[in-house]
Amino acid sequence: MPEKFSLKTTRKEGFYPITDSVREAVRKSRVKEGLAVVYCPHTTAGLTINENADPAVVHDLILGLKGAYPENPDFRHLEGNSAGHLKAAACGSSLQLIISGGELLLGTWQGIYFGEFDGPRTRTFFVKIMEG
């Protein structure tokens, strides 16, 4: 069964680190070799892997995504969050990580982030461990 996690986002847009939650799911599973799939069940939020060291990178990711997917007066969706839907699509709804030796195989500078694009809200995500 997948593990379910909750997250309260505090801003309209932001990237929230979830590496520790994914590691917790991996350890709890006791799987030594396999995959961890992280899944976001929302349509204005997504998942990404990026630098875990300098918080300025998160600032720049938000700024760069806003540049690529700005508000547009021709958007028709009446909720007014179409740019958020686009950013969610750009990041994607799932991540796949390799488990090796009982640990997540992450690069030195990699962290796992939950991207909020229409907050603040209470959000959820799932981690599914596959052995093999």
> Residues 87, 19, 63, CA angle at the centre, nearest 5°?
30
- CB burial readout 33-48, b (16+ within 10 A) else e: ebebbbebebebbbbb
Q: Fill in the per-residue mask, 6 to 35: x = in contact with its own copies (CB under 8 A), - = not in contact.
A: ---------------------------xxx
Q: Which of residues 49-108 bind its own copies (CB under 8 A)?
A: 49-51, 54, 56-57, 59-61, 63-65, 67-70, 72, 74-79, 82-83, 85-86, 88-98, 100, 105-108
Tokens of 114: 């939950």
Contact call for residues 31 and 132 (beta carbons, < 8 A): no
Q: Which residues of the chain form contacts with its own copies (CB under 8 A)?
A: 1-2, 33-35, 37, 39-43, 48-51, 54, 56-57, 59-61, 63-65, 67-70, 72, 74-79, 82-83, 85-86, 88-98, 100, 105-110, 126, 128, 130-132
